Structure 1
Amino acid sequence: MDADGDFDVREFARTAVGTHRPSIDLTAFEQRALLPRTVQMLSYLREVERATLSYLRNVLVTPTHKDARVTAFLTTWAFEKFWISDALGAVAEAHAVDPRDQLDHAPGRAVLRELGERATPIVESFRANAIGPDVVGVHLATVAVDDRLGEAAYRNLAAADPHPQLLSLVERILAVKRRHLVFVEKDAHDRLSRSKRARALARRALSRLDWPIGARDLRPESTATFFDSVIDSPTAAELDARVDLLPGLQGLGLITHARVRAATGGTGLVPTAARSLGRAAASLRHGKNHG
């Protein structure tokens, strides 16, 4: 925080946390390996953290990029999450596991992913620029929910498999995420508080997302295991209660509903490009009705 009590983005960027590899004793896993389910979840979380880069690419073609403070935060946020994913990948590989196995390799899925990667930035730019500055609050609320979900996952994973090296790594990851949450929760709250339209947009957008961010490109059974293993019903309820603290998002039950969808195979089944085009059309209609 700066002297006025605001988040100091310049200091945050200056002290960005890079690689975690020097702090991980990978040889310790030769004497005592992590549980297979733990390695699977670290691999899953590695892919989720890497999805930040795609999310940021889509965000920075919208009016959000015009806010220098938010852009500085998000680029540093993505940088730190990249190195978290790198550390998780190192631990998985130390157990002879390829984290990329978490990707959905069903026939045609790679083609849909590539189509989505090409089409989504164009669609998001078209959609979000039609909405205007209110989309910034939507983006920050999305990050806030996803970071809280990730924080809970790491805590529960470490509690279930208290390997000294895992505990140490999780402690460092949570320290990084605490700084992220200080910014996004306050900024999202302030922006949603100021705009009824931003609240309506966020409520609709967040209820349509697959959680965690990046889950739509991962194997549905892996997402089901994620919720079954590290986000149980009480944890989901706690996370939903935190979402309720953001203006306009009360009663959505985002994480509880995500658990149900994952358990029934509902995650990752809608092609990315088609989903984005549908959201674009809906958002444009909303913009015309409320502009």
Structure 2
Amino acid sequence: MINHSNVIRLSGFCLHEGNTYLVYEYADNGSLTDWLHFNNTYRILAWKQRVRIAYDVADALNYLHNYTNPSYIHKNLKTSNILLDANLRAKVANFGLARTLENDQDGGLQLTRHVVGTQGYLAPEYIENGVITPKLDVFAFGVVMLELLSGKEAAATAIDKSAGDDLLSVMIMRVLEGDNVREKLSAFLDPCLRDEYPLDLAFSMAQLAKSCVEHDLNTRPSMPQVFMMLSKILSSSLDWDPSDELNRSRSIDSGR
């Protein structure tokens, strides 16, 4: 049985005229997609709210991967499947593609010939070879973190651009490599934040997201590792004072 505060709760079901209806708890504030990509009708998410949402989703995935029996791979994580309650706490929803992991499966590895999902969130090993492991969710979560950081969609919709160059999972590699990382990261971050964020913590979160979307699944962190890192980032974010930002931001380009 799945029971977690950051997983949407099934309240009941009913049968009517041969159809089955599922009733879930109500999420007052809609989906994360609405907040990040349709800001004409929604308020702007502040830095601390964004980190809290990432923390909530990581908590849910860590629970699904490690604390249910059998364990689950969500397999369809994206911002439209992350709902927000009245307090803007995240609820992972839509388990239509979820897979269970039995205890005797080697490393949680499964294979499929039927690759389904949303462009921008799919891990390379799944697209290329149909490999399904918990690292599939880790990759998708990394993309969600990048959306929270940048306000951009997982994959650009412009038809005149190559898909690879327009994926957030590719863009972040260029942002964090080479020189002038602080300037490139500042340009990458959501302008709706209006510079009201701790740049050193944004850098830490971007690095974590980058590690989650590495091409090789074996180099990606596990969800317990991701959750632990986000716990630290959230704690520091809650203590963050905007007046400290000038001194803190200097550490990114020097010594890192």
Name the one with the larger helix percent: 1
TM-score by length of 2: 0.30
Q: Which has the higher contact order (CA 8 A, sep 6+)?
A: 1
